[in-house]
Homo-oligomer: A and B are copies of this chain.
Amino acid sequence: MPDHSPGQPLRLTRQRQAVADALEDDDQFRSAREIHAVLRERGNAIGLATVYRTLQLLADHDEVDVIRSADGEAGYRRCSDTHHHHLVCRTCGATVEVEGPAVERWTRAMAEEHGYDEVSHTLEIFGVCARCR
């Protein structure tokens, strides 16, 4: 349930549409720069600052997930309906989505046990995939 409370008008522009489309076409986490590059390649002129502003807007409205990689770059991905995690190859970057109620339950239980509310979590699994071994 995205917030969509139009305290401000929220205009539909070509650029916002383009960023949303780019995210729709992709189920990997992408950096702002990658998204910007893809749009330019498609001939869709857009400023990097606008990409950032749009991504932040989408994040505020819970329409994209944001992840922070170890090097400090932020990755953005459209929210899928089901919550899941990523199994990433350390060598080639190949990503598999995994999900399971076990972790979800465990994290929530841990949080409640310590009196924490409004719980969310991030979990990434790293390894070396079969092909890279």
Contact = CB atoms under 8 A, between A and B. Distances in A.
A77 to B, nearest CB: 15
A18 B130 CA distance: 41
When all copies of this chain in the complex are counted, the total is: 2
User: Which of A110, A121, A127, A128 is most buried by chain B, counting CB atoms within 10 A of its CB?
Assistant: A127
Nearest to A123: B123
A89 B120 CA distance: 11
A126 to B, nearest CB: 5
Interface string A118-133: 1111111111111001
Interface of A: 66, 68-70, 72, 74, 87, 89-90, 96, 98, 100, 102-103, 106-107, 110-111, 114-130, 133
